[in-house]
Amino acid sequence: MTPEPGSPTDSEVSDEAVRGMVAALEPAWSVESIERSPHGTDFVATLDVRTPDGPRTVVLKATTADLVDPPIARSEPRLFELVGRETTIPVPEVFGYRDAHDDFPAPFYLVEHVDGVNLEDDPESLSPPARERVVRDAGRNLVELHELGPLPAVGSVGVARGELTVLDTDDHPRADDFRERLLADAERTLDVLTEGGYFPDLADDPERFADLVEPVRERLRDAIPELSEPDPPTYNHWDYRYGNLLLDPETGETNAVLDWANLSSADPAYNLAKVEFSLLKPVRDDPERTAELRETFRSAYAEGRESWAFDEPTLERMAVYRLTDRLDAMACLPLWYEDATPAERDERAAEHRTFLAERVPGVDS
């Protein structure tokens, strides 16, 4: 992926560059301290700044990796603004953004700092009522997000001519049928699983899942074309997971939903399946607890959308969507668990195999 002219993507961002980016967005502000985040793939820093109205804490984010195309990365601050304006979903206030810059990595933006904990893969640290609050908030938030649609086509949400849109480019083509896009994406994911996933340079065992590829491919080629007609496409925050939430650790209230830089336009049931995959942990929770949390999530969503029902065709689509979600997680394992021990990576891999063995003929756990 080649960076666009005028959008340098150096991974190292100096203090001078940080101050320059802030000055480009808020000339009257001065940066007093910089705390770089060790997490994520792009540059993120928490800044203490002095403004004409007094001190405040803000967050600066700049696209410095090759993982998200600039037309998609540019959507994040605009989506913060749209969601903040049109819904009650908690998102940070935006102070400014630049789509490109001659001197600094871009796009970049400046938003308010929101208090809260990021639990990544540790929801078990929440009390049972707090965890229920997280999934209930998720259901209610997705209602509001989905009702911002429908959108004109299936595809990737990005920016063209300065406006949010469903992109229609060679790199990000639109699709008429979500099922066709889903199968094509799944085929590509299966192809990379034979050589270490999306991040082969980080894979300690590139052939970890290679034996699963053909049985899963056969299953999806049979199942996806037979799915019922998807609902009209709408905004999908498909990466709505603990790692992209800032939570009150005592109550489970969601203080902010983050990572809006890679939304898709898709069947809302796909988003629901993705979030269930991310927020429910059936391998680590017992079946009864998983069922309780799933019911909490679905009830919150159904209560907010009068025209919605978790009917049999929708549930069948969601079951297949969860299977494709699992493939994405398998392909991301080298990145998500880069700092994990070999035993922890093996444990996650075993969870994936158990899931597939229960759903795909020819797969052994």
pLDDT, tens digit, 9 for 90 and up, residues 126-153: 999 999 999 999 999 999 999 999 999 9
Tracing tokens 């990737």 back to the chain, one arrives at 156
Tracing tokens 């929708």 back to the chain, one arrives at 314
Question: Could you give the CA distance from residue 88 to residue 141 in angstroms, rounded to a whole number?
Answer: 8
pLDDT, tens digit, 9 for 90 and up, residues 195-232: 999 999 999 999 999 999 999 999 999 999 999 999 99
Question: Could you give the CA distance from residue 294 to residue 301 in angstroms, rounded to a whole number?
Answer: 11
* Backbone phi and psi for residue 202, each to the nearest 5 degrees, phi listed first: -100, -5
Tokens linked to 283: 């391998």
Q: What is the pLDDT of residue 234?
A: 98
Q: What is the pLDDT of residue 283?
A: 66
Q: Can you list the domains of the chain with their CATH numbers?
A: 15-112 (3.30.200.20), 123-357 (3.90.1200.10)
From the number of C-beta atoms within 10 Å of its C-beta (0-12, 13-18, 19+), residue 7 rates as buried
Q: Which residues of the chain have pLDDT under 70?
A: 1-11, 121, 283
Adjacency order of strands within the sheet including 234-236: 163-166, 155-160, 264-266, 234-236
Q: What is the pLDDT of residue 364?
A: 84
Q: What is the pLDDT of residue 1?
A: 33
Complete DSSP assignment for 238-280? TT-SGGGEEE-TTT--EEEE---TT-EEE-HHHHHHHHHHHH-
